[in-house]
Amino acid sequence: MRKYFEIAKILFKAQLVYRFDVFFNALFTVAKIVFAYIVWGVIFESNTTVAGFTLSTMLSYYVISSFLSQIEMSDGITGEISGRIRDGSFSKFMVIPSNTFLHFLWQNIGSTLFYMIFNFFAAVIWIFIFKIDFALTTDIAIIFSSLLLISLGLFFMVQLSYFIGILTFKFKNVWLFNLIKGNIAAFVTGSLVPLVLLPMGVVDVMKFFPFYYVTYLPSMMLIGRNIDEFIVGIIVLSIYILVFIIINISTYNFLRKKYDGVGI
């Protein structure tokens, strides 16, 4: 276990080199809040509530969901695995004494923790700049429940990104899969618009998929809504996580035989 902590520590420190990326990541958090402020500010000029949201709760939702979507950085795993398989340097992960999935998971944890600090401050500063009446729940149990959901959700996204990454063994180039996954995930996780605005039937279908519980449900819980969905969220995410553990192990063991170690 200690070696994985070391991997996380190295990646945490390595982010210091990529200052511009860190700056832009935080700027994206801010940009999402600013555009939510512009669009919803206009909408709430002629409406007092929309789907049960006031302007304050809507902006609070965007602050939390923007923060969560920016710390969901598993895309990098797909990029690195794909790049390394293509240039032949993936061989390293087959010979070092660490589990490949855990290696990428802890790399992701290390870099995410670093970005989390800056994104957190970016979000907090803009709460004060926009004078948002931040509607965060004060119930400690709900906050911890949300943190549990967030952790499981991020873990699931790492699994999904890892799965797309190792598909490079078979498909040679997975950038298109990754791009499509990223665009769809942005919508179905509720980081573009709260899912409660969608027709009820669509939302009910979304509850069968894990994305609903990655960003949307924790954000809603943190503003004091949808608390009753917590247990369902834990169950659904746990099932998907277990399924993907099996899928990832079997896919990796099957496809790694196609890798010849000299790049594509």
The residue ranges that bind other proteins (CB under 8 A) are 20-21, 24, 27-28, 31-32, 35, 38-39, 42-43, 46-47, 50-51, 173, 175-176, 179-180, 183-184, 186-187, 192-193, 197-199
Nearer to other proteins, 1 or 200 (CB): 200
Going from the C-alpha of 23 to that of each of 10, 119, 171, 253, the distances in angstroms are: 20, 9, 34, 38
Q: For residue 50, report the phi and psi dihedrals to the nearest 5 degrees.
A: -130, 120
β-sheet bridge partners, residue 50? 53
Tokens 């990796």 belong to: 252
* Min CB(25)–other proteins separation in Å: 9
* Min CB(58)–other proteins separation in Å: 11
Nearer to other proteins, 69 or 145 (CB): 69
- Contact at 8 Å (CB) between 149 and 217? yes
Nearer to other proteins, 43 or 264 (CB): 43
Nearer to other proteins, 10 or 39 (CB): 39
CA dihedral sign, ordered 139, 144, 145, 149: positive
Closest CA to 34 of 55, 10, 62: 62
* Min CB(235)–other proteins separation in Å: 26
* Min CB(256)–other proteins separation in Å: 23
